[in-house]
Structure 1
């Protein structure tokens, strides 16, 4: 594994992040210290560090860059859930359609930050349904939780 600040590799990573999370992420990362861990033999990106913190990690199956708990502040994709569902999601349970209040900047299959109604990040997960499908269904799973974040209760 090699850690690099090579501008060509950083440009490649920014292009990938822009494709996955939208062009706004490039503006947020402008002027920040970005380092990339990649496999020297295959050239495959493994980790993205922003200002020394691990912000994104690569999914082994497809190379998709997933945000870590430090990387969620750079991502706009979010699902807002009601306060009743927070206790279940914070235990790692999936988000059901009845508990979704809003979906922002996300399409089915994309990685999202699950937030409560106050905007506090609760978990990271994969959106399974579109907002129209969520509104039309009475039951089912809307988001599969991947990682629960540690947060302070207010």
Structure 2
């Protein structure tokens, strides 16, 4: 198999994974000019970049660890938005610094959030962090206490006096 065919198959794998995890059609928002980094040992896809900016990392379990930058790109899709939640003004600064999202601070929640799934955390329609759901949509809406999402990657706040 030549390098171009291998690359095209890798792009297809990433697209299928995006559609499986976040909803059919989300993959059409994958940028056309991606660069794929492969493992030297196994030959598997490790990272996906666009213009030297990391978009996502493929996990060994078949999942994707997306970055806030990539989540913002995928947010153009209505189906992807169902895997997101919105937080209030009070918790925005803490979440941007990498703190977990608590149920009482969630103002809106998409219907496709599952325990252990990737979740993008929004504030005023912009992605401020991404993490792993501790609770499902139904639980987040019904609970008033406890952690809803453990943050993996966030936009570090530039305001030092917050």
TM-score band, normalised by the shorter chain? 0.7 to 0.9
Gaps of 5+ in 2: none
**Structure-2 separation of matches of 1:145 and 1:8:** 31
TM-score by length of 1: 0.81
Matched, 1:97 2:96: no
Indicate how the Cα distance of structure 1 residues 15 and 136 shifts in structure 2: closer, same or farther if over 3 A, else same: same
- Note the C-alpha offset of 1:47: 0.6
Structure 1 partner of 2:67: 68
User: Which 4+ stretches in 1 moved above 6 angstroms?
Assistant: none
Greater helix percent: which structure?
Answer: 2
- Note the C-alpha offset of 1:139: 0.8
Matched, 1:53 2:46: no
* Aligned with residue 141 of structure 2, among 122, 135, 139: 135
- Note the C-alpha offset of 1:147: 1.5
Partners of 2:97 and 2:157 within 8 A in 1: no
Indicate how the Cα distance of structure 1 residues 78 and 68 shifts in structure 2: closer, same or farther if over 3 A, else same: same
**Structure-1 separation of matches of 2:157 and 2:126:** 8
- Note the C-alpha offset of 1:100: 0.8
- SS at 1:6's partner residue? helix
Indicate how the Cα distance of structure 1 residues 119 and 152 shifts in structure 2: closer, same or farther if over 3 A, else same: farther
Matched, 1:37 2:34: no
Gaps of 5+ in 1: none
Matched, 1:106 2:105: no
- The number of residues matched between the two structures is 148
